[in-house]
């Protein structure tokens, strides 16, 4: 596990763009943390670094948004609304860990669909309003990415 401290949203986005330089199709990234912790902000910096031109916003109401990056699609999930219904039988398996990079906000609500090899990122608010601690853990083979950071 590696830990980073950011003091504004731009720093979170530049960390995201650094991580983006190490990713590959099939990779799954979980984004953990409370409402307003910075999960979507991270996804914006991440997607922009990979060449996404359109505006990235939270997919809360449609669960998943797809963005075309330069070399592969980005699947951006917000699983919050699955708390009640669960994530089964909705076809999400057709996207997660396939031809694109997948980022999942509120991954605890689609636990059964998470692969064993993945990058887990956790956002925690600090004392100051704009402070965030961002911890990054590569699970399984994805330890490779953690080691490069």
Name the site residues for Mg ion (rule: CB under 5 A): 39-40, 58, 105
**Interface pick for ligand ADP out of 98, 117, 122, 130 (rule CB under 6 A):** 130
Question: By rule CB under 6 A, what count of residues binds ligand ADP?
Answer: 17
Rounded Cα distance, 141 and 125, in Å: 29
- Residue 122 to residues 71, 125, 136, 137: CA-CA distances in angstroms? 26, 10, 7, 9
Q: How far is the CB of 4 from ligand ADP (least distance, A)?
A: 10
Nearer to Mg ion, 55 or 70 (CB): 55
Nearer to ligand ADP, 32 or 117 (CB): 32
Nearer to ligand ADP, 105 or 120 (CB): 105
Q: Which of Mg ion, ligand ADP, none lies near 47, with the C-beta cut-off 5 to 8 A by kind?
A: none
Q: What is the DSSP string of 78-147?
A: EGGGHHHH-STTSSGGGTTTSSSEEEEESGGGGGGG--SSEEEEEEEE-SSTT-EEEEEEEEGGGHHHHH
Query: Which residues contact ligand ADP (rule: CB under 6 A)?
Result: 6, 8-9, 11-12, 33, 35-41, 58, 105, 130, 132
């Amino acid at each position: 596990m590696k830990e980073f401290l950011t003091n504004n949203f731009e720093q979170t986005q530049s960390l995201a763009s650094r991580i983006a330089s190490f990713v590959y199709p099939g990779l799954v990234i979980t984004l953990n943390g409370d409402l307003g912790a910075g999960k979507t902000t991270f996804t914006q910096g991440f997607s922009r670094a990979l060449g996404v031109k359109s505006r990235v916003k939270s997919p809360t109401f449609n669960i998943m948004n797809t963005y075309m990056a330069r070399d592969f699609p980005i699947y951006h999930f917000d699983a919050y609304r699955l708390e009640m219904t669960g994530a089964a039988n909705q076809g999400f398996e057709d996207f997660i860990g396939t031809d694109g990079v997948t980022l999942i906000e509120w991954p605890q609500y689609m636990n059964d669909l998470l692969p064993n090899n993945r990058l887990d990122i956790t956002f925690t608010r600090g004392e100051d309003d704009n402070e965030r601690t961002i911890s990054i853990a590569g699970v399984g083979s994805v330890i490779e990415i953690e080691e490069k950071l």
